[in-house]
Amino acid sequence: ALYDATGVRFRSPPFSPARVRAALEERARPGKRRWWWAGALAVTGLLATLWPFRPSIAPVARPAANLYSAETIERGRLVAEAGDCAVCHTAEGGTVNLGGRPFETPFGTLYSTNLTPDPDTGIGNWSFAAFERAMREGIGRDGRHLYPAFPYTDFAKISDADMQALYAYLMAQPAVAAPAPQNDLRFPFNIRSMMAGWNLLFHDPSPFKPDPTRSAQWNRGAYLFEGAGHCGACHTPRNLFGAEKGGDARLSGALVDGWEAPALTAASRSPAGWTEQSLFEYLRTGRSDAHGVAGGPMAPVVAGLAELPEDDVRAIAHYVATQMDAPLSDPAQSERAAAVVAASRAEPVGQEAGQRVFEGACAACHENGTATFTSAKQALALNTNLHSQRPDNVIQSILGGVHAEGVAGAGEMPAFAHSLSDRQIVDLVQYLRARFAPGETPWKEVGKTVADLRREHDQQ
Ligand code: HEC
Ligand code: HEC
Ligand code: HEC
C-alpha cells in the first residue's frame, strides 16, 4: 500500500523518517505536484497512526503575579520581541496578543490564537510544561497538533532559561477573553493529527547546539537567528510539504505574504554587497545607505530587534555576515555603490511610457540632487529588490507605499494603488528595472504579478 500511495519502493523495512524523507525528496519533481500531495498525505497519515497519541496536560491555575521577578519578566519580554509573538498574534487593528490574525495557506485559512493568560480562551490555565511542549513540539495543551505556520520548528531552539522567562512574561500580561476564529482549512488538512507524520519527517526538536569552533558572538547570533528570531522561517524556501529546504537552498530566499524575503547567503543580489557593518545598521534601524529599507514584512522584525540590546543585534549581523561570506567592513563598498548609482543616471531607451509615470509620480522624491524633507534617502539603484529575479517587492512598495511604523530609519512613501492603473505600474516597473538594474534581464510576467498583488491588496 505504501508503494501504491507514494511510488517510492522501500527495499527493506523499517521505514525510518530519514529514509522516507530522502525517498520523497528524491521523487519530488516539479510538474508532478498534484500527484505528490496525495503521496505525501498517505505517508504522513500512515506515520501519524504509528506515532503515539499525545495526551492533554492538566489545566493549572494561572501563576501568582509575584511568582516571577521583574528581571525574569523583562528577559521574557525581550524573547517575545525577538520572536515577534505580537506580530502574528495580533489582528489588524486589534488588541495585542489577542489572536485572530489570518494566515492564508494553499490549503485554506488558519488563525492565530489568544496568547493572553485568559483561562478559557487564552493560555491562562497552561502549565509551563504545556507551554514548553507547544513551543518545542507543536502540541497544544489539550494534545492537539498545531500547524507549523506557528514557527515552533525554530522556537524549539530557545534555551530553557529564555523559555521560562517567556512564559513568566506572557503570564504577567492582562488576561483578555476572545476565542480564536474557526479555521477554514480544506479536508484533509483540517485533520490536525496529520501533523504528527509531518513532525516526524521534518521537525527537529533537539536543543540549540553551540559550535565550539566558533566565537561566542557567532554562537549568540546563531542562537537568536535560528531560535526566537526564526529568520529562516521567512528566508528559506519550502518544499512541497511546506518544510524548509536544506543544503544550498537554506536561506536562499523565499516568498512570504506576497513579498520576497531575499537570499541571506552569498547568492544575495545586493548590487553593492553587504558587510557586517551595513547588516548591523539595517537590522538595528531598518535602513542601510548602500541597500535600502525594511518596509515590508521585515519592518516588524526590525521593530522587535530594536528592543534588544545592541550586542545581540551585532551578534545576529555577525552570523548573517558569515552566511553571506560578507566582510566586516569594506572600504570599496562605497566606491562600488557610487559606480552602481552612476550607471543608473542614463535614461534607458524604449521605456518612455514608464519614464513618464516615473517623472510624474516618483522623481520628486527619487531623483538625485533634489533632496527635500520627504525625499528618499537611498538610491533606488542600490536596492536589492530592483536587482532581484522577481519584481514582487518593487510592486508591493508602489501599491502600498512604505510606512514602517516603529522602524527608526525606514522613511515614509505614499501608496499608489489608487492613483496608478495596472498598465501604468507595469510600464513603471519595467522602466525601473531597465534604468536602475541595467545589467539584469527584464522581468517576465510583470502584468500578472501586478494583478495578483493588487487583488491581495484590495482584500486587506
Ligand atoms: C509567524 C507567525 C507566528 C509567530 C511569529 C508566533 N506565532 Fe504563536 N501561533 C501562530 C499560529 C498561526 C498559531 C495557531 C496554530 C494552530 O492553530 O495550529 C499559533 C499558536 C501558538 C500557541 C498555541 C496556542 C493554543 O491555544 O493552542 C502558542 C502557545 C503560541 N503560538 C505562542 C507563541 C509565542 C510565545 C510566540 C513568540 C515567541 C509566537 N507564538 C510567535 C503564529 C505565530
Ligand atoms: C516575516 C518574515 C521575515 C522574518 C521573520 C525575517 N525576515 Fe528578513 N526580510 C523579509 C522580507 C519580506 C524582506 C524584504 C524587504 C522588506 O520586507 O522590507 C527581508 C529583508 C531582509 C534583509 C535585507 C536583504 C536585502 O538584500 O535587501 C535582511 C538582511 C534580513 N531580512 C535579515 C533577517 C534576519 C536577520 C531575520 C531574523 C532576525 C529576519 N530577516 C527575519 C522577511 C522576514
Ligand atoms: C513623497 C516622497 C516619495 C514619493 C512620491 C515616492 N517615493 Fe518611493 N520612497 C520614498 C521613501 C522615503 C522611501 C524609503 C527609502 C528611503 O528613504 O530611501 C522610498 C522607497 C522606495 C522603494 C524601496 C522600497 C523598499 O522596500 O525597498 C521603491 C522601490 C520606491 N520607493 C519606488 C517608488 C516609485 C516607483 C515611486 C513612484 C510611483 C515612488 N517611490 C514615489 C519616498 C517617495
371-412 tens-digit pLDDT: 566 778 889 999 999 999 999 999 999 999 999 887 888 888
* Rounded distance between C-alpha atoms, residue 392 and residue 301, angstroms: 19
State whether 187 and 75 are in the same domain.
yes
Q: How many CA atoms lie within 13 A of 99 on its CB side?
A: 22
The more confident residue out of 320 and 186 is 320
Q: Is 344 in the pocket of ligand 2 (CB under 6 A)?
A: no
Q: How far is the CA of 409 from the centre of ligand 3 (A)?
A: 13
Residues with CB under 6 A from ligand 3: 292-293, 295-296, 361-362, 364-366, 374-378, 380, 383, 385, 393-394, 397-398, 402, 411-414, 416, 428, 432
Residue 368: per-residue pLDDT: 63
Q: Is the model's pLDDT at 53 over the cut of 80?
A: no
State pLDDT tens for residues 236-251: 999 888 889 999 999 9
Cell of 382: 542600490
CB-count exposure of residue 419 (10 Å: 0-12, 13-18, 19+): exposed
Lining ligand 1 with CB less than 6 A are: 80, 83-85, 87-89, 103, 110, 112-113, 115, 123, 131, 134, 140, 146-147, 149-151, 155, 166, 228
Q: Do 283 and 385 fall within a single domain?
A: no
Shared domain check, 166 and 123:
yes
Domain boundary at 324, 359, 386, which? 324
Q: What is the pLDDT of residues 99-140, one digit of tens each?
A: 999 998 777 899 999 999 999 999 999 999 999 999 999 999
Is 70 exceeded by the pLDDT of residue 39? no
- From the CA of 266, how far away is ligand 3's center (Å)? 27
> Which residue, by CA, sits nearest to atom 14 of ligand 2?
261
State the average pLDDT for the chain: 88
Cis, bond preceding 14 (omega within 30 deg of 0):
yes
Average pLDDT over residues 1-13: 41
Q: What pLDDT, on the 0 to 100 scale, is given for residue 105?
A: 79
**Ligand 2 contacts CB of residue 449 (under 6 A):** no
Q: Which three cell numbers stand for residue 210?
A: 553551540
| Nearest ligand (C-alpha, residue 228) | 1
| SS3 state at 227 | coil
Containing 439, the helix (H) or strand (E) segment is none
What's the confidence (pLDDT) of residue 30?
42
417 within some domain: yes
Is 227 in the same domain as 266? yes
Helices (H) and strands (E) in the chain, counts: 21, 9
The CATH number linked to 407 is: 1.10.760.10
Pick the residue whose CA is nearest to atom 1 on ligand 2: 297
Residue 208 inside a domain? The answer is no
Handedness of CA 285, 294, 405, 180 (dihedral sign): negative
Q: Is the pLDDT of residue 13 over 80?
A: no
220 and 151 both lie in a single domain = no
The residue count for the chain: 460
| 394 and 453, same domain (yes or no) | yes
Question: For residue 453, is it left (φ>0), alpha (ψ between -120 and 50) or beta?
Answer: alpha
CA distance between the termini of the chain = 44
CA distance 310 to 30: 44
For 423-444, what is the mean pLDDT? 97
* Atom number in ligand 3 closest to CA 384: 27
Cβ–Cβ under 8 Å, residues 387 and 407 = no
- For the chain, the 3-state helix, strand and coil shares in percent, each to the nearest 5, are 45, 5, 50
pLDDT at 42: 61
Q: Indicate if 304 and 396 belong to the same structural domain.
A: no
pLDDT at position 18: 63
Contact assessment for residue 106 and residue 239, using Cβ atoms and an 8 Å cutoff: no
Element (H, E) at 435: helix 422-436
Whole-angstrom Cα distance, residue 237 to residue 243? 8
Distance from residue 299's CA to the centre of ligand 2 (Å): 8
61 belongs to a structural domain? no
Q: Which ligand is nearest to the CA of 431?
A: 3
pLDDT value, residue 318: 98
Q: How confident is the model at residue 6 (pLDDT cuts 50, 70, 90)?
A: very low
| Residue 339, in any domain of the structure | no
Whether 383 maps to a domain, the answer reads yes
* Residue 19, pLDDT above cutoff 80: no
For residue 26, pLDDT over 60 is answered with no
Is 34 in the same domain as 92? no
| CA angle (80 as vertex; 77, 82 as ends), nearest 5 | 110
CA separation for the pair 10, 178 (Å, rounded)? 48
142 within a domain of the structure (yes/no): yes
pLDDT of residue 402: 93
CA distance 398 to 420: 9
Of all residues in the chain, the percent with pLDDT exceeding 90 is: 70
If asked whether residues 304 and 375 sit together in one domain, one would say no
Please give the residue range of the domain that contains residue 46. 2-50
- Domain membership of residue 385 (yes or no) is yes
- Does 142 share its domain with 224? no
Please state, in angstroms and rounded to a whole number, the distance separating the CA atoms of residues 158 and 128: 14
Q: What is the CATH number of the domain that holds 320?
A: 1.10.760
Ligand 2 site, residue 273, Cβ cutoff 6 A: no
Is 271 part of a structural domain of the chain?
A: yes
Reported as a single tens digit per residue, the pLDDT across 148-159 is 999 999 999 999
Q: How many domains does the chain have?
A: 4
- pLDDT at 183 > cutoff 90: yes
Which residues are within 8 A (CB) of 333 and not within 5 positions of it... i.e. 6 or more apart? 272, 273, 275, 278, 290
Residue 445's nearest CA partner among 459, 430, 428, 424 is 430
Can you give the pLDDT at residue 38? 54
Asked if residue 77 and residue 43 are part of one domain, the reply reads no
**pLDDT exceeds 80 at position 40:** no
Q: Let me know whether 356 and 439 are in one domain.
A: yes
